[in-house]
Amino acid sequence: MESFRVYFRKRKQFFDVYLHFIHPNTFQRKGGGLWGYYQPYKERGRFGLFGQIHLVRSRVRVDVVAHELDHLRCDWIFTNKIKLSTRNEEWFCKFGDELTRKFWREYDKHQKRIKGI
């Protein structure tokens, strides 16, 4: 299993990503989704570790990552008791953009470390 960390909210919080070398069917039987799942950290707050995203290494795709990041984003919104409205819709979208951009940036760095580039 490989892992890396993704910071967000000006590095105040982060989530860990775990890439599992396992067949999707085995991953699902062990309690995960078919290709990934989000697991919240039990003591979520405004600082530090917020949760974990677990993915099947061979199935890291844009749609799978977007799905799990949406779980994390919604959990952050609910945990911090933020009401979504037309007044903060743009912020909500930008927050999703931030998570997506930072995930793929760290994923690319992780790939380069693995390959030794």
Nearest to 18 by CA among 9, 26, 35: 35
- Global pTM reads 0.90
Q: What is the mean pLDDT of residues 51-69?
A: 95
Indicate whether 72 pLDDT > 90: yes
**Packing angle, helices 62-79 and 89-115, rounded to 10:** 130
- Give the whole-number percent of the chain exceeding pLDDT 70: 99
Residue 25: the pLDDT is 86
- For the chain, the average pLDDT equals 92
Indicate whether 30 pLDDT > 70: yes
Structure confidence at residue 117 as a pLDDT band (50, 70, 90):
low
